[in-house]
């Protein structure tokens, strides 16, 4: 560690960052009060909302000064980060960063930059956003720390393999690719073995070298425990949304899920979800829903349309429609039971990272959705056919038909994109959504 850099990091994050972000939170709290006035179809958001922003921003703020203080790794959302955390790595998730750019609506500029460099518009818009950010140096986070290591795991898509190879070219640093074979039905022992070997024999030594220290079992155990606790709490929070009225909308969940993705394995994240759980539980007990009049409940499949969150949330709430659950937000909770603290850590991680929804067959997702329709009392399904995310969107047509057949409830494919506004048509989306409302028996005055 570089002492001067450490002092700078300490001063900037504690003396400047903390009070600044706190003040921003206060401003945020006042703003929230204003937007959810009497006329809003939404109830005031959870108290923890403004803090969430502070919490996530503080992570990025630390990132600005972290170089030279801690080793830095850029990782995919499904990377086995517990090993890295236990070695003291500071982590950046380019996917989350791209989502942040989308939610702040600065992504199109970055996408353009990447396309100018030759990236096709058929490439996932997260990749284009991030490569654009890397090339232009522009980011709403201020500055992203340069990594010492790249870790990509194939459990979400094949795109990340090419994406990270590109990053490796640009940054000229080691890249570890963890190959997780596709799980057609149940996880096979040889698959676990194969992934476990990669974690132990490939990722671990390279990460240790980059971190300049050896892994301690105690540290790894602790990180896994934090991951498990936070994941369990997130799952419990989502399960509370089965109640009527649901205390959260999926749009809230898309915001609140940031820490479980990019800060899992930290003690503070467990604290965060603990506080959130209590508040959500209180709302459930008091019968306070996320929207004022919940008449219909839907399921959302796939990633959000980051740049249209607020508009969609309001449009639905105005008609008394809530989306209390999605396969996407649930994916970050459903693996909690697999995190068995009494088993060999590498075995546990191999199982967990083989199991994400995108590494399993379309039938698995259908089953998850069918289960949600019953458990969350849903009246319909919106399947976001996301142009960028092919692995998530594949099979949706069949899933939709099966859901209609099995439950006789309406299900609609909504063609859009998580980040690319050029693949989104406002008028056509509105027609689809309004037609769907009319099918559900809520029309437009």
Does 445 help bind other proteins (rule: CB under 8 A)?
yes
Pairing mode, strands 296-301 and 380-386: parallel
Task: Determine the size of the site formed for ligand SF4 (CB under 6 A).
Answer: 13
- Residues 16 and 19: their CA atoms lie apart, in Å, by 6
Among 159, 246, 249, 396, binds ligand SF4 (CB under 6 A): 159
User: Nearer Cβ to ligand SF4, position 94 or 247?
Assistant: 94
Which of the ranges 151-159, 227-235, 319-327, 374-382 carries the binding residues for ligand SF4, by CB under 6 A? 151-159
User: Nearer Cβ to other proteins, position 97 or 308?
Assistant: 308
Tokens found for residue 202: 């490939």
Among 67, 82, 95, 266, binds ligand SF4 (CB under 6 A): 95
Does 413 help bind other proteins (rule: CB under 8 A)?
yes
- Residues 66 and 57: their CA atoms lie apart, in Å, by 14
* Residue 387 beta carbon to other proteins: minimum distance, rounded to whole angstroms: 10
* Residue 305 beta carbon to ligand SF4: minimum distance, rounded to whole angstroms: 12
- Count Cβ atoms below 10 Å from residue 207 Cβ, excluding itself: 24
Does 124 help bind ligand SF4 (rule: CB under 6 A)?
yes
Pairing mode, strands 72-75 and 149-153: parallel
CA 225 from chain centre, in angstroms, equals 20
Does 160 help bind ligand SF4 (rule: CB under 6 A)?
yes
Q: Strand, helix or coil at 17?
A: helix
Phi, psi of 344 (to 5 degrees): -60, 130
Among 326, 388, 399, 429, binds ligand SF4 (CB under 6 A): 388
Task: Determine the size of the site formed for other proteins (CB under 8 A).
Answer: 19
Tokens found for residue 119: 């990236």
232 binds, among ligand SF4, other proteins, none (CB under 5 to 8 A by kind): none
Among 48, 103, 131, 156, binds ligand SF4 (CB under 6 A): 156
What torsion do the CA atoms of 344, 347, 349, 352 make, to the nearest 10 degrees? -120
Does 271 help bind other proteins (rule: CB under 8 A)?
no
* Residue 415 beta carbon to other proteins: minimum distance, rounded to whole angstroms: 7
405 binds, among ligand SF4, other proteins, none (CB under 5 to 8 A by kind): other proteins
x/- map, 348-387, ligand SF4, by CB under 6 A: ----------x-----------------------------
Alpha-helix residue ranges (DSSP H) falling in 287-425: 309-318, 327-330, 345-354, 362-375, 390-393, 396-407
Segments of 28-104 assigned E as strands: 72-75, 90-92
Whether the Cβ atoms of residue 239 and residue 273 lie closer than 8 Å to each other: no
Rg for the chain, CA atoms, rounded? 21
User: Which pairs with CB-CB distance under 8 Å and at least 24 residues apart come from 257-260?
Assistant: 257/329, 257/332, 258/52, 258/56, 258/96, 259/52, 259/55, 259/56, 259/230, 260/230, 260/231, 260/234, 260/332, 260/333
Near ligand SF4 in 164-223, by CB under 6 A: none
Nearest alpha-carbon partner for 204 in 225, 219, 185, 189: 219
* Residue 439 beta carbon to other proteins: minimum distance, rounded to whole angstroms: 5
Burial zone of 112 (CB within 10 Å; 0-12 exposed, 13-18 middle, 19+ buried): middle
* Residue 411 beta carbon to other proteins: minimum distance, rounded to whole angstroms: 8
* Residue 386 beta carbon to other proteins: minimum distance, rounded to whole angstroms: 14
- Residues 148 and 70: their CA atoms lie apart, in Å, by 10
Which of the ranges 153-161, 167-175, 204-212, 377-385 carries the binding residues for ligand SF4, by CB under 6 A? 153-161
401 binds, among ligand SF4, other proteins, none (CB under 5 to 8 A by kind): other proteins
16 binds, among other proteins, ligand SF4, none (CB under 5 to 8 A by kind): none
Contact residues for other proteins, defined by CB under 8 A: 397, 401, 404-405, 410, 413, 415, 425, 427-428, 431-432, 434-435, 438-439, 443-445
Residue ranges binding ligand SF4 (CB under 6 A)? 95, 124, 126, 156-157, 159-160, 303, 358, 388-389, 391-392
């Amino acid at each position: 560690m570089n002492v001067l850099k450490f002092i700078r990091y300490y001063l900037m994050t504690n003396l400047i960052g903390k009070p600044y972000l706190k003040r921003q939170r206060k401003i945020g709290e006042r703003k929230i009060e204003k937007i959810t006035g009497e006329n809003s179809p939404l109830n005031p958001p959870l108290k923890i909302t403004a803090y969430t922003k502070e919490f996530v921003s503080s992570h990025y703020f630390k990132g600005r000064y972290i170089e030279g203080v801690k080793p830095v790794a850029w990782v995919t959302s499904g990377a086995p980060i517990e090993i890295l955390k236990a070695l003291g790595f500071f982590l950046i998730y380019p996917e989350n960063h791209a989502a942040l750019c989308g939610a702040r609506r600065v992504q199109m500029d970055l996408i353009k930059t990447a396309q100018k460099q030759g990236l096709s518009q058929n490439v996932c818009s997260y990749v284009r956003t991030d490569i654009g950010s890397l090339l232009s140096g522009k980011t709403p986070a201020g500055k992203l720390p340069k990594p010492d290591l790249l870790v990509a795991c194939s459990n979400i898509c094949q795109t990340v393999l090419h994406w990270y190879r590109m990053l490796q070219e640009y940054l000229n640093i080691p890249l570890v690719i963890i190959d997780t074979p596709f799980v057609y039905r149940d996880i096979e022992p040889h698959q676990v073995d194969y992934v476990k070997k990669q974690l132990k024999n490939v990722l671990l030594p390279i990460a240790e070298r980059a971190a300049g220290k050896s892994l301690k079992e105690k540290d790894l155990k602790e990180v896994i425990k934090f991951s498990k606790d936070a994941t369990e709490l997130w799952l419990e929070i989502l399960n509370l949304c089965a109640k009527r009225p649901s205390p959260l909308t999926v749009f809230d969940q898309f915001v609140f899920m940031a820490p479980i993705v990019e800060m899992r394995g930290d003690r503070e994240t467990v604290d965060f979800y603990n506080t959130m759980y209590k508040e959500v539980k209180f709302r459930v007990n008091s019968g306070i829903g996320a929207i004022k009049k919940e008449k219909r409940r839907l399921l959302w499949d796939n990633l959000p349309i980051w740049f249209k969150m607020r508009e969609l949330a309001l449009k639905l709430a105005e008609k008394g429609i809530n989306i209390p659950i999605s396969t996407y937000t649930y994916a970050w909770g459903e693996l909690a039971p697999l995190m068995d603290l009494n088993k060999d850590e590498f075995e546990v991680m191999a199982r967990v990272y083989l199991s994400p929804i995108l590494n399993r067959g379309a039938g698995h997702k259908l089953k998850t959705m069918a289960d949600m329709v019953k458990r969350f009392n849903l009246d319909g399904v919106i399947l976001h056919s996301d142009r960028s995310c092919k692995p998530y969107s594949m099979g949706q047509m069949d899933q939709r038909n099966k859901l209609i057949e099995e439950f006789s409830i309406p299900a609609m494919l909504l063609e859009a994109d998580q980040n690319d506004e050029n693949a989104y048509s406002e008028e056509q989306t509105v027609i689809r959504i309004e037609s769907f409302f009319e099918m559900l028996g809520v029309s437009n005055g």
